[in-house]
Amino acid sequence: MDTENLHYFERAPIAKAVAHFAVPMMLGTSMSVIYSILNAYFLGTLQNSAMLTALALTLPLFAVIMALGNLIGIGSGAFISRLLGEKRLTDVKQVSSFALYSSLLLGLIVMAVGLPFIDSIVRGLGATPDSFGFTKDYVTLMLIGSPCVVLFFTLENIVRSEGAAITSMIGMMLSVVVNMILDALVIFVIHGGVIGVASATVISNLVASIFYVFHMGYKSPFLTVSIRWFKLSKDILGNVFKIGVPVFVMSVFLGAMSLVFNHFLVAYGDQAVAAYGISSRLLQFPEFILMGLCEGVVPLIAFTFTANKLRMKQTIGFTIQTIVALAVVFGIIVYLISDHLIGLFTNDPQLIEMGSYILHVTFLSLFITGMTTLFTGIFQATAQGTAAFIMSVIQGVTLIPVLYVANQTNGFHGVVWSLVIADAVAFLVGAAMLYVLRNRLQPDMEALVQ
C-alpha cells in the first residue's frame, strides 16, 4: 500500500491528517466558487439582467447533473476508502472501474433523454419571456456536455478516496482555471454570451476528467481505468448505491428546492431572482470552504471506521472545532462589507439592497450548514444508509411547506427566512441521529467519555 497515503490515514497527528485531506478540497471548492462568482461577474459586465437571471435559473439543472456524478462518485469513494482500510485492493480496482464507466453511461442517458424535451425543461425552470432564450441556450449546452460533467464529479471523488487529496485538488483547480480563461475569451473576445459561458463549463470539465483518467491509469497505486476490472456484483452495487442514492436524492432535492425557491422569487420580479443569484454565489464561497472541509475528511473517517474508531472520533471532534472557527470569521467579514460585495456585480441600488439583505439572513445558518454537511459525511463514510437518506430529504421536506406559509404571511422576507428555518431543522435531525448511532459508530470509545 502507498506509504505516504497510509501515513496520513493511520499515523499522522489528527490536525495534520485533517489538513492533508481537507485543505486541498477546501482550496479546490473555493476555486470553484471563485469561478462561479467570476462567471456572474463576466455576464454582469454585459449589463443584461436577463442573462444573470438565466444563470440563476439553470442552477437546479446543474445540481441534477452534478447529483448523478455524486451518485456514483461519493458512493464509490466512501466504499473505496473502507476497502483500503480493510486492505481489499482487488475490490478497489473493481469499484473504480465500475464508477468510471457507469458515470459515462449516466451522462449519455441524461443527454439522450433531456434534449428532446428542451423547451419543457426551460419552462419548468421558471424562465420568463425575457430570459427564455438565454436559459434555453445554457440548458442545451449543459445537456450536450452532461457526460463530461457527470464524469468529472465522479472521478474527483474517486481520486480523493484513495488519499490523493492534492491530485484531486489539482483536477478541480484545472477545471476552474480553464473555465475562467475560456469565460474571459468568449465574453470579451468572441462575444459568445450565455452560449460561450456554458461551452466553457463543459470544456473545462472535460479537460479535468482527462487529467483524472490519466492519474488513475498511470499514477494511482490502487485505481484503474481498465474496463477488464469492471464488475457488477451485489456487493459493489449495494455499497455504492446505499450511500450514492441518498446523495443523489439530496442533490435532486437541493435542485428542486432551488427551483421552487426561484418560482416564489419570480413573483417579486427579475431583480429578486438576480439578487438571490448574486448573493447565493457569494454565500457559496464560505459554504464551499466548509463543504470542502467536511467532504475532505470523509475518506479519513471511512478508513478509520474500519481500521481505528478512536482515530475516527478524534477526527470528527477536530473538524467540528474548525467549523466553528471558520463560521465566526466568515460571518464577521460578510456583515461588515456585504454592500460592497454585492456592488461588485451590479450598480443597481435596489439590487444591492435586496442582495445584501439576502446575504445577511442566509449567513445566519452558516455554522448550521457546515455541521449538517459533516453529519451527512459521517453517515456516508460509515455506511449508515438510512441516516444518510433521511438527511437527504429532510431539508427539502421542511423547506417546501415552510416556504409556502412564510410567503403567505411575510412575503419576500418570509421567502428568504425559510432557508434558515429549513437548515435549522436539518441540523437538529442530523444531531439527533448521530446521538442515537453513537454506540454503533464508536463502541470502543466509552473510556474517553468517562
For residues 377 and 284, the model is more confident at 377
**How many other CB atoms are there within 10 angstroms of residue 432's CB atom?**
12
Q: Is 19 left (phi over 0), alpha (psi -120 to 50) or beta?
A: alpha
Vertex 281 angle, CA 279 and 285, to 5°? 110
Q: Phi and psi (nearest 5°) for 164?
A: -85, 65
- Specify the pLDDT at position 104: 92
**Which tens digits make up the pLDDT trace of 192-207?**
777 888 888 889 999 9
Lowest mean pLDDT, pick from 24-33, 222-231, 321-330, 377-386: 24-33
What confidence category does residue 406 fall into, taking pLDDT thresholds of 50, 70 and 90?
Answer: confident
For residues 292 and 2, the model is more confident at 292
What's the number of CA atoms in the CB half-sphere (13 Å) around residue 161?
A: 35
Nearest to 12 by CA among 319, 314, 445, 433: 314
Residue 221 and residue 6 in contact, taking contact as beta carbons nearer than 8 Å = no
Residue 211 has pLDDT above 60, yes or no: yes
Residue 249 and residue 403 in contact, taking contact as beta carbons nearer than 8 Å = no
Angle between helices 193-214 and 132-144 (to 10 degrees): 20
Vertex 152 angle, CA 207 and 306, to 5°? 135
Q: How far, in Å, CA of 139 to CA of 156, rounded?
A: 23
Q: How far, in Å, CA of 105 to CA of 328, rounded?
A: 43
Residue 363 and residue 342 in contact, taking contact as beta carbons nearer than 8 Å = no
Q: Phi and psi (nearest 5°) for 382?
A: -100, 15
Residue 321's Cα: distance from chain center in Å? Answer: 22
**How many other CB atoms are there within 10 angstroms of residue 205's CB atom?**
24
Q: How far, in Å, CA of 31 to CA of 57, rounded?
A: 22
Nearest to 242 by CA among 431, 72, 63, 81: 72
Lowest mean pLDDT, pick from 118-132, 255-269, 315-329, 393-407: 255-269
Lowest mean pLDDT, pick from 56-65, 168-177, 219-228: 56-65
Arithmetic mean of pLDDT, 402-431 = 86
- Specify the pLDDT at position 450: 37
Nearest to 121 by CA among 103, 108, 140: 140
Residue 405 has pLDDT above 80, yes or no: yes
- Specify the pLDDT at position 255: 64
CB neighbour class for 189 (10 Å; exposed up to 12, middle 13-18, buried from 19): exposed
What confidence category does residue 103 fall into, taking pLDDT thresholds of 50, 70 and 90?
Answer: very high
The proportion of the chain whose per-residue pLDDT surpasses 90, expressed as a percent, equals: 13
**How many other CB atoms are there within 10 angstroms of residue 45's CB atom?**
10
CB neighbour class for 158 (10 Å; exposed up to 12, middle 13-18, buried from 19): buried
Q: How far, in Å, CA of 156 to CA of 13, rounded?
A: 25
C-alpha cell at 113: 433523454
Residue 380 and residue 388 in contact, taking contact as beta carbons nearer than 8 Å = yes
**Which tens digits make up the pLDDT trace of 320-341?**
999 999 988 888 888 787 777 7
Q: Is the dihedral of CA 7, 449, 441, 438 positive or negative?
A: negative
Residue 381 and residue 304 in contact, taking contact as beta carbons nearer than 8 Å = no
What confidence category does residue 108 fall into, taking pLDDT thresholds of 50, 70 and 90?
Answer: very high
Nearest to 105 by CA among 249, 238, 255, 230: 230
What's the number of CA atoms in the CB half-sphere (13 Å) around residue 81?
A: 36
